Structure 1
């Protein structure tokens, strides 16, 4: 099995050197690293290239380095799609620019795929660190409140119902089989790359997670996509904050998923039907009136029918959100 690392960067000079050091210090060295830089205005690429050169001069074996430079920013999702498409390995490991890997990360991911023939997507837990690399307390699964029932469902092959409600996978902790790339492209603009890859693998019942901590996930203000904060204050702010276009975005995402899965011959028809039901649920929510009073009956109908339990990311919290949230 050959391993490629897909590293996407954008103005990541501050932390990327530490990430590269952790990648080069793996107990199982990658065969290839594809760096796709999204029009950085700093020295990000130079830091990476120099780290590889210094390692070679020190007599160390290093992965083959392939550098892609986007003259204009593609954005996170399109940049990762380009990086993954340029990889040649059997196993493609996603990497953000500002995290750090545990030394056995690639070894453990390779073992995970070898132990699960046919697996398309595997993601792990991560330890949270701050700007200085100091433990910030807790793990990524803890921050995302990944419950025991959700973990058990994923391990049993029933991940699709879980991921239809909400995404549990973070790209910085994930690896995919090359086959998944062909099944998932093109990546839709409505989805983030890691969520899209995960739901495609889950729809085919070929996704799993490991509770091993294989990444040190850096939380800082410049994170484009970060771990959520499960505090009560944060939850209340989500309910009472204005709705904006959130429901429209959820409806658009769900419609894209419904249509793509309907075209896939290898997705169980039950999952296709569930994706269609999810799309209808989100379409209905997006059409809720601005008046809180007029939202009550349609929200109650969805709740009594079990739709919030099946399809809403936060279940009862989303019922409260739909009843109380200002437009």
Structure 2
């Protein structure tokens, strides 16, 4: 929030709060940062300086280093000695990988709000303060994530926002806000871990992070669990710089454009080829459903969206060989709106009807 005459102004909600409405300092939640490192000596100094330059400093930083070999451990020791806040450095005995490394860092945090941090970005000075105030003003939110500016390796260029890269546009955000959070996330993760804050009280439902989440990594898992409870929010503001470089384990990379399936192909290709992607989607959703069912109650409000999508792809991937027997279930699914609902977001308006035709004829 920005200081104004007589109070604070929220750039997120557009609301001005007078001093009486603003929580007193002793009511402010404590803040931890969970920072994971691995051979980050080239980028860590810049990110670390951006943490030191925050308008609101964290109460602690927990660093989990995944057996770096490039001088990162020595650099972290220097940071910890000079930091204006407590720093704990955890050195892994075996390499954990990013999922379990973040799990270890998150588990060690003691703050009421935990920020996830990558080693190679840069946080804008207002990031912690803005997101802490958002969580204060939205007590039902257990998870929140912000946007970022996508930059080059030298942190230059702010022409593109991260949400554009993951198709989290205005229309998709409107679907999210109207109750389609789980649907949006099952199309692909929109939440970047290093842009996320989590209430520590929500960690028991998130951890441990499963070893394998088909199509997702640790941040996608956190987002999906939050979606089951409808407790994940987004802050429509870029609050950091997202560095892109060749050493990234996970990053924003151009996705290959799938070959267009022509009508002639639909009528001549082997049925196994047509069914393969549907089987993969059905298996993915089934595994995700099983993983989530172990963490949340069966009446979690976001689960029906998952089950509806799973039922759709289960039906499509197990249609009978007899074409006549496919007509009724396919047309019923079309009437229920599922072919339109689960079409690729970037697909043409007639794509659902091509899928119907393919399911009946192929």
Quote how far apart the aligned CAs of 1:174 are. Answer: 0.9
Q: After superposition, where does 1:1-327 map in structure 2 within 5 Å?
A: 1-53=29-81, 55-56=82-83, 61=84, 63-135=85-157, 137-156=159-178, 158-188=180-210, 189-190=212-213, 191-229=216-254, 234=255, 236=257, 250-263=281-294, 266=297, 268=299, 271-282=302-313, 306-307=337-338, 309-311=340-342, 314=345, 316=347
| Deviations 1:98-141 (CA, angstroms, capped at 9, x unpaired) | 11100111101101100101211111110111111212521101
Aligned residue-pair number: 307
Quote how far apart the aligned CAs of 1:144 are. Answer: 1.9
Which moved further from structure 2: 265-274 or 163-172? 265-274
- Quickly say closer, same or farther: Cα 1:4–1:287, change in 2 above 3 A: farther
SS of match in other structure, 1:236: coil
- Unpaired stretches in structure 2, ≥5 consecutive residues: 1-28, 262-272, 320-326
**Partner residue, 1:292:** none
Cα distance between partner residues in 2 of 1:21 and 1:160: 36
- Quickly say closer, same or farther: Cα 1:75–1:128, change in 2 above 3 A: same
Quote how far apart the aligned CAs of 1:315 are. Answer: 5.8
Does the 8 A contact of 1:164 with 1:311 survive in 2?
A: no
Which moved further from structure 2: 210-219 or 38-47? 38-47
Quote how far apart the aligned CAs of 1:273 are. Answer: 3.1
Quote how far apart the aligned CAs of 1:205 are. Answer: 0.9
- Quickly say closer, same or farther: Cα 1:78–1:278, change in 2 above 3 A: farther
- Unpaired stretches in structure 1, ≥5 consecutive residues: 289-296
SS of match in other structure, 1:13: coil
- Quickly say closer, same or farther: Cα 1:8–1:267, change in 2 above 3 A: farther
Quote how far apart the aligned CAs of 1:287 are. Answer: 7.7
Cα distance between partner residues in 2 of 1:4 and 1:132: 27
- Quickly say closer, same or farther: Cα 1:254–1:21, change in 2 above 3 A: same
Return the index of the structure with the highest Cα Rg. Answer: 2
SS of match in other structure, 1:209: strand
Does the 8 A contact of 1:121 with 1:206 survive in 2?
A: yes
Quote how far apart the aligned CAs of 1:41 are. Answer: 1.4
Cα distance between partner residues in 1 of 2:277 and 2:95: 24
Cα distance between partner residues in 2 of 1:74 and 1:312: 37
Q: Which has the higher contact order (CA 8 A, sep 6+)?
A: 1
Cα distance between partner residues in 2 of 1:213 and 1:4: 20
**In proportion to residue count, which structure has more helix?**
1
Does the 8 A contact of 2:53 with 2:125 survive in 1?
A: yes
SS of match in other structure, 1:14: coil
Quote how far apart the aligned CAs of 1:185 are. Answer: 2.1
Quote how far apart the aligned CAs of 1:267 are. Answer: 6.2
Cα distance between partner residues in 2 of 1:46 and 1:156: 48
